[in-house]
């Protein structure tokens, strides 16, 4: 059980302001971060993860200030960022690096508990039988699931995911999202997932944080996600185009009636 609190977060890159004074608090939920490209979703996740230093503002996890990368925060990247030449098992085991010395990790002398945890994480994402497979031989969806397993081995309180399904086909995207949600539930981790497919977001999200031009547009529950809110965030044209595209490529239908144009 953990609480993420973001207070007055601001990030500027030179003249460009990516985030302006954003504050919100989430607790034990599967939260979806919504917004157009360039709205500041990635910057937000990178700030929380410690990959980017915020210009000002504070981030707290369970009341403790977060700074730098730490094992309690697991990150899932759009391009999965796995080491492609080695097995899924060894990639998952990287999540346990924090608990091993350099020599131990070089020779895979990790605790048996960590080794079993890596395999359990792969089991959670449905890849136990493929554990010995080289990641480069796996499909994009499977690779992303290995990415989830790696984050799980860290035993995180907070799971971050930056557009985890953006480069996947609709069917794989749904599988990956299902496993991501299962992973967060099993590990009782708070999840913050940025997505740009509104239908996927509406299907899996329990809470929605919207960003527009680096500002907080909304921080709402499932019941409050209305078509107006989405239109407001993306602009009418974009949403309609989005709905049309999904209708054409046969991706899963929008589950939530309120988000259907």
If binding is defined by CB under 8 A, does position 171 make contact with other proteins?
no
Cβ neighbours for 158, distance < 8 A, ≥ 6 positions apart: 2, 4, 48, 61, 72, 73, 74, 189, 190, 191, 192
Q: How far is the CB of 66 from other proteins (least distance, A)?
A: 24
> Per CB under 8 A, does 138 bind other proteins?
no
Interacting residue with other proteins among 24, 77, 89, 208 (CB under 8 A): 89
Number of Cβ within a 10 Å radius of residue 153: 26
> How many angstroms separate the CA atoms of 149 and 124, rounded?
8
Shortest distance (Å) from residue 118 CB to other proteins: 9
Residue 221 to residues 111, 174, 224: CA-CA distances in angstroms? Answer: 41, 21, 6
Residue 195: enclosing H or E segment and its boundaries?
Answer: none
Q: Does 97 bind other proteins (CB under 8 A)?
A: no
Which of 128, 215, 232, 258 contacts other proteins by CB under 8 A? Answer: 128
Position 77 contacts other proteins (CB under 8 A): no
**Judged by CB, which is closer to other proteins: 129, or 223?**
129
Check residue 116 for interaction with other proteins (CB under 8 A): yes
Radius of gyration of the chain (CA): 18
Q: Which is nearer to other proteins, 100 or 128 (CB)?
A: 128
Q: How far is the CB of 78 from other proteins (least distance, A)?
A: 18
CA–CA distances in Å: residue 16 to residues 12, 40, 55, 192, 194: 6, 11, 12, 24, 21
Strand, helix or coil for residue 134: strand
Number of residues engaging other proteins in binding (CB under 8 A): 12
- Is residue 112 involved in binding other proteins (CB under 8 A)? yes
**Residue 79 beta carbon to other proteins: minimum distance, rounded to whole angstroms:** 16
Largest CA distance in the chain: 57
Residues that bind other proteins (CB under 8 A): 89, 112-113, 115-116, 119-120, 123, 128-129, 131-132
């Amino acid at each position: 059980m953990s609480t993420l609190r973001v207070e007055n977060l601001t990030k500027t890159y030179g003249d460009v302001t990516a985030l302006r004074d954003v504050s919100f608090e989430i607790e034990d939920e599967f939260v979806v971060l919504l917004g157009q490209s360039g709205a500041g979703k990635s910057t937000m996740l990178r700030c929380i993860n410690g990959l980017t230093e915020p210009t000002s503002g504070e981030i707290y996890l369970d009341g403790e200030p977060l700074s730098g990368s730490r094992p309690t925060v697991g990150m899932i990247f759009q391009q999965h960022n796995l080491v492609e030449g080695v097995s899924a098992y060894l990639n998952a085991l990287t999540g346990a690096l924090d608990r091993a010395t350099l020599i131990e990790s070089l020779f895979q002398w990790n605790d048996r508990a960590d080794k079993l945890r890596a395999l359990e994480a792969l089991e959670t994402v449905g890849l136990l039988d493929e554990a010995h497979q080289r990641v480069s031989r796996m499909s994009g969806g499977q690779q992303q699931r290995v990415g989830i397993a790696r984050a799980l081995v860290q035993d995180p309180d907070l799971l971050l995911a930056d557009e985890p399904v953006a480069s996947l086909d609709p069917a794989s995207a749904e599988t990956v999202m299902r496993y991501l949600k299962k992973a967060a539930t099993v590990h009782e981790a708070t999840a913050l997932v940025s997505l740009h497919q509104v239908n996927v977001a509406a299907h899996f999200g329990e809470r929605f944080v919207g960003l527009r031009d680096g500002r907080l547009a909304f921080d709402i529950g499932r019941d409050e996600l209305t078509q107006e809110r989405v239109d407001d965030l993306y602009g009418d044209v974009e949403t309609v185009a989005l709905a049309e595209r999904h209708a054409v490529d046969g991706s899963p239908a929008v589950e939530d009636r309120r988000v259907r144009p």
